[in-house]
Every structure is written in C-alpha cells, then in structure tokens.
Amino acid sequence: MLRVDVTKQLGDFSLQAAFESQGRVTGLFGASGAGKSSLINMIAGLLRPDRGIIALDGEVLDDTSAGIHIPPHRRRIGYVFQDARLFPHLDVRQNLDYGRRMNKLAQDPAQQKRVTDLLDIGHQLDRRPGQLSGGERQRVALGRALLSKPRLLLMDEPLGSLDEGRKIEILPYLVRLRDEGIPMVYVSHDAAELRQLATQIVMLKQGRVTALGGVKVLT
C-alpha cells in the first residue's frame, strides 16, 4: 500500500496532495502542470517534500516531522521516465543489467530472459541506445527498471514522447507488465490510456487532488 500526504512549494506553484492507494496500478491523472511529475519524483525520492509523509507497505520513506528521508537508491522503487534516460555509454545488455549490479543481486538469467522476451528486446542486446528507435528505447527502459526488482514501479508518461503508432506498439507491453503483478504508479494526461491500465485513479488539478476512486472518475 502506498500512502502519500505531502506539501511542496515550487516557485509560484504549490502542491498539496494526499491519497492512499491499494490498487495494483494507481493512475495519476491531470493536465500538464498539475503537479504529477513533482508528486512522482517525491515518491521516487528525487524531490523532498516540504512537509509530509510518504510510506510504502508500512515503511516510511519520507517523514519530515521525524527528519526521515530515504535516498532514492535505497528505496527499491523503479522509475520509467518519459525520455527513457538510457545510459548512452552502455549497450542495451549493460543498461538492463545496471540495476542488478547496483543492488548487488545475484545473476538471474531466467528472469532476464523472461523480461527481454516480454518486451521483445532480446535481439537488441548488443546495440547502443543511440541506435534504437524511440519505442525500442522505451521498452529497454521498462526492462531496465523491471530487472532492478523494484517493489513499486513508477511510470512518468512512458508513452508521452511517442507518436500514435509507437503508443499502440508499447501499450500491450504495459498491459502485460500490469498483469505481472508489480504495483505501479502510472502518470498520464491521457484518460484513454489510464482506462486501459489503471485500477485506481488519483486526479490532480493545479496541485490539488480533486478526485479519487476507480477508473469511472475519469468520465
């Protein structure tokens, strides 16, 4: 279970959001500038709340009143960015293996094969990120986050930088991923996307939560 109750001032913009989510896929829905990315960055630990609490499965990740802030590398929270952010100096295989190395996990060829099959990137392991298309890069980024064995997967508009054709290409993989059972927080401004993927919706508007509930709140 994910529990978030935070406030953050960013210039003129004030974010004040509280929600709890039991859902397997929590959809963070809102227009651009609603505060979705700031919120997800706080869950990842990349941004510190001014005040408040973030807890995952009973473990406190941030508690400003107790002075607790677990840094991102100790949260075991995977993050798929809109712009993939693959490491340009590493090939696809090394990118995929990065999280395992950093977390000092044992080699797991079976899991590696499952993930590369799931995302159809097995034939690209020796290529560099610069040689991949946008859709391929995003699939590798998904695989890289998955293989770090996170307990929660954050996705910040993973389809946002792709054209319609590419979105249709990636969406089935996201559905497969959801059915893998890893809890996810999925950020999007696209209601149709969230209707397909999310099990619970948090609607944000100008830094405030305006609606909470099942996907029907999107209508």
Partner 1 sequence: MFEISPAEWTAILLSLRVAIIATLVATPFGIALAWLLARYNFWGKSVLDALVHLPLVLPPVVTGYLLLLTFGRRGLVGAWLADNLGIVFAFRWTGAALACGVMSFPLLVRPIRLSIEAIDRRLEQAASTLGAAPWRVFATVTLPLALPGILAGMVLGFAKAIGEFGATITFVSNIPGETQTISSAIYSLIQTPDGDTAAGRLVLISIVIAMSALIASEWFARRATQRLHGN
CB closer to partner 1 out of 89 and 216: 89
Cα separation values, 149 from 138, 165, 176, Å: 18, 29, 16
* C-beta of residue 158 within 8 angstroms of C-beta of residue 174: yes
Return the closest-CA partner of residue 143 out of 182, 92, 105: 92
In the complex, what is the shortest distance from the CB of residue 211 to partner 1, in angstroms, rounded to a whole number? 28
CB closer to partner 1 out of 81 and 186: 81
CB closer to partner 1 out of 148 and 199: 148
Q: Cα–Cα–Cα angle for 127, 110, 198, nearest 5°? A: 80
In the complex, what is the shortest distance from the CB of residue 74 to partner 1, in angstroms, rounded to a whole number? 8
In the complex, what is the shortest distance from the CB of residue 192 to partner 1, in angstroms, rounded to a whole number? 27
Give me the amino acid identity at 154: L
CB closer to partner 1 out of 103 and 206: 103
* C-beta of residue 201 within 8 angstroms of C-beta of residue 215: yes
Return the closest-CA partner of residue 28 out of 144, 166, 157, 175: 157
In the complex, what is the shortest distance from the CB of residue 101 to partner 1, in angstroms, rounded to a whole number? 8
Summarize as ranges the residues that interact with partner 1 (CB under 8 A). Answer: 44-46, 71-79, 81, 83, 85-89, 98-99, 102-103, 128-131, 144-145, 148, 154
In the complex, what is the shortest distance from the CB of residue 175 to partner 1, in angstroms, rounded to a whole number? 23
- The sign of the dihedral angle between the CA atoms of 131, 133, 138, 143 is negative
CB closer to partner 1 out of 15 and 40: 40
